[in-house]
Amino acid sequence: MPEAHWYIKNCRLFERLSSEQILRLERCSRMRTFPKHSSVYLPTDPADGALLLTQGRVKLSHLTEEGKEAILAYIEPGELFGELALIGDSTREETAETVLPSTIIFIPADELERLMTQSADLALGVSKLFGLRRRRIERRLKSLLFRSNRHRLVHLLLELTEQYGKNSPEGILIGIRLSHQDLANIIGSTRETVTMLLGTLQSEGLLRISRQCIVIRNPQKLSEEIHTPFHLPQPTEAHSELPRPRAAQALSLKPE
């Protein structure tokens, strides 16, 4: 499978490896495609490796006993996930399922660890990856403790704007479609509350909802609400079809 080779080589994390190291990595990796809405792994599955998403979208979540789904993250092409297997976890602690048809490369943990001891560059890269994700989740924690649902939702919308924002005539369009239920599952609220809050925000002129897409009309004012300055994230043009292979970019290790 020459494709696996291509994807591995073009992932930032691995670019400093020698070609024989990549070859070896490729040989013990397994590439697999999944239809949409299928399970990649479940809690209690053995955590024996990390996964590299090359196409599609994966949702990481956790089901509570009462049947509520806490969404931990969405994974985009080029991103690594399930990488906590590296620290010696024996089993997964969350559910990973595809949202779109996806292709995924599985990388055994022991092999990756072996490579990390060989390549300090790789190990440094993984450190930074972990660090970035930890910072993200710590910010999220802060936005949840003591905060009203409105605050949480606004915070989430701004995060989505930074990650998926595209310029459009009347503001920044969020380039990922999430149902109100999904949004609620990210901030730990309910569908009805999210519907209502979005309605309120719309009536306040802060955003507009059209054809299942959210357009942030006033990012500045929205971010004032949560007292964090908003950095315009070089948004790409809406409707400009992004080139498929974003693999190299998505794992960028620069400090955002």
Q: Minimum distance from CB of 149 to DNA (Å)?
A: 4
Helix %, strand %, coil % of the chain (to 5): 45, 25, 35
Query: Which of its own copies, DNA, none binds 199 (CB below 5-8 Å, type-dependent)?
Result: DNA
Separation of alpha carbons 186 and 157, rounded Å? 11
Six-digit token string for 130: 């972990």
Half-sphere exposure of 97 (CA within 13 A, CB side): 13
The single residue among 29, 54, 143, 189 that binds DNA, judged by CB under 7 A, is: 189
Residue 227 binding result from DNA, its own copies, none, given CB thresholds of 5 to 8 Å by partner type? its own copies
Name the binder of 195 from DNA, its own copies, none, CB < 5-8 A by kind: DNA
The interface partner of residue 148, options being its own copies, DNA, none and the CB cut-off 5 to 8 Å by kind, is DNA
Angle at 104 between CA 101 and CA 105, to 5 degrees: 165
Exposure string over 92-131, b if 16+ CB within 10 A, otherwise e: bebbbbbbeebbbbbbbbebbbebbeebeebeebbeebee
The residue count for binding DNA (CB under 7 A) is 20
Find the part of the chain contacting DNA (CB under 7 A) among 143-151, 159-167, 232-240, 247-255. 143-151
Residue 239 within binding range of DNA, rule CB under 7 A: no
Least distance (Å) between residue 163 CB and DNA: 19
- Contact residues toward DNA (CB under 7 A) are 66, 148-150, 179-181, 188-193, 195-196, 198-199, 209, 211-212
